[in-house]
Amino acid sequence: MNFVFHDGGRAAAGYRCATGDCVTRSIAIATGKPYQEVYDALNRLGQTERITKRKKKRSSSRTGVFRATYQRYLESLGWRWTSTMSIGTGCRVHLRASELPQGPLLVKVSRHPTAVIDGVLYDTHNCSRSGMRCVYGYFSLRP
């Protein structure tokens, strides 16, 4: 899979230093929305989350966004989730251009979401593990 370095517009929005904003970056890349717009929207959704005994903090665009929160955001934009793995099935889809559909995708791999557009990986590092990284599922635009 071809790889293109892309920070999702983070530097252009005035942010510096490394941080755990992979959800924000990958959504900005996949949707084509400005980084700051995605950053603010995810933070607003994070403020509506409840704190519980198991979930002791809220989502933050800078340090990490819970799956349910960014799924709500993507679904509000007309994106849908397609699962490629379930319990006990093993890895059936890898992070390879030949195994993923065309178009903009937000691909969920272990501990990291990343953007893939027409078989090209856009991220701050090549997370494909030479095409061996397992894909849990992906968000895509509804047809």
pLDDT reported for residue 17:
84
Percentage of the chain exceeding pLDDT 90: 80
Average pLDDT estimate for 60-81: 94
Q: Name the DSSP class of 123.
A: E
Handedness of CA 27, 30, 35, 40 (dihedral sign): negative
- pLDDT for 20 equals 86
pLDDT surpassing 80 at residue 143? no
Q: Which residues pair with 141 in a beta bridge?
A: 79
Contacts of 59 (CB under 8 A, 6+ apart): 42, 43, 45, 46, 49, 65, 66, 69, 70
User: What rounded mean pLDDT belongs to the chain?
Assistant: 94
Instruction: Yes or no: say if 103 and 141 are a contact pair by the CB < 8 Å rule.
Output: yes
The model carries a pTM of: 0.92
